[in-house]
Chain A
Amino acid sequence: DTAVSQTPKYLVTQMGNDKSIKCEQNLGHDTMYWYKQDSKKFLKIMFSYNNKELIINETVPNRFSPKSPDKAHLNLHINSLELGDSAVYFCASSVTTGELFFGEGSRLTVL
C-alpha cells in the first residue's frame, strides 16, 4: 500500500551510461517532484510537475530529463552519467496545503 514508490532503490553504474528512475504515487495528488540529496544530506529540488506539466525546473544539467506520462507517474532519465551525479534521488507528491509525501529514495552510485 505504498503511497509514493520509486524503483530501483539502488543503482550502481559506470560513468557515461544512461539510467532511469521511476516513480508512482497512488495518493491522487496533482503535483509531483524530484529532489536530490547529496552526501551531506542537503536536499535540493530538481523538478516539479503539476498535472503532467513542468512547473519548476531548477538549475539542473540538460542530461536530466523528467517525464510525466500521467499525473500519477514522474520518471527521471539521466544521460551520460557523471561521478557528481551520485546521490539519493527522492520523488515526492504534494497535497494542496503543501506538505510533501516522499518515496523511499533511489541511491545512485556512479563509478
Chain B
Amino acid sequence: AQSVAQPEDQVNVAEGNPLTVKCTYSVSGNPYLFWYVQYPNRGLQFLLKYITGDNLVKGSYGFEAEFNKSQTSFHLKKPSALVSDSALYFCAASSYGAGSYQLTFGKGTKLSVIP
C-alpha cells in the first residue's frame, strides 16, 4: 500500500526567506508525485507534479520541488516566501490501476509566512 508522510504539522517562515515543506513517500514502482495547496474554505489547487525526467520540478506561483529517489522524498521549496503563500499544503502520491489514478494524500502542512 502506498503512503505519504508530511512530518511537520506547521511551518513558520519570515516573508522573504526561503521555505521548505517536507514530504516522503512509499510507493511500489515508479512514483507519480504531486503538491497541492488549499486556501481557507477553498478546494485544493494543483501546484506541480513529478512523473519522470528532471529531479527538480517547477510549478505555479514560483514553487518547485525536488525528487530524491534514494531518500524517497519530494520536498516543496520556494526561494522567497510571500505572506500570500500562507495556506495548507498537501503532498500526494499516485498509482494507476483499473482505469483510474488513486491519489494518496499526506496529512497536510500548514504554512504560515510572517510579515
Contact = CB atoms under 8 A, between A and B. Distances in A.
A99 B103 CA distance: 9
Interface string A39-68: 011111100111101011000000000000
A97 B75 CA distance: 20
Contacts of A105: 41-43
Contacts of A84: none
Interface stretch (B11-19, B62-70, B78-86, B92-100): B92-100
B49 interface: yes
Interface of B: 32, 34, 36, 38, 41-46, 49, 51, 88, 90, 94, 96, 98-105, 107-108
Contact of B49 (A92, A97, A102): A97
A55 B45 contact: no
B114 to A, nearest CB: 21
Interface of A is mostly: strand
A31 B100 contact: yes
Contact of B100 (A48, A97, A99, A104): A48
Contact of A55 (B32, B42, B94, B98): B98
Given A45-B103, A104-B43, 6 more contacts: A31-B101, A41-B38, A45-B102, A53-B99, A99-B34, A100-B101
Given A50-B99, A98-B32, A43 B43 contact: no
Contacts of B99: 31, 50-51, 53, 55
Contact of B46 (A43, A100, A104): A100
A97 B42 contact: no
Contacts of B90: 43
Contacts of A43: 44, 90, 105, 108
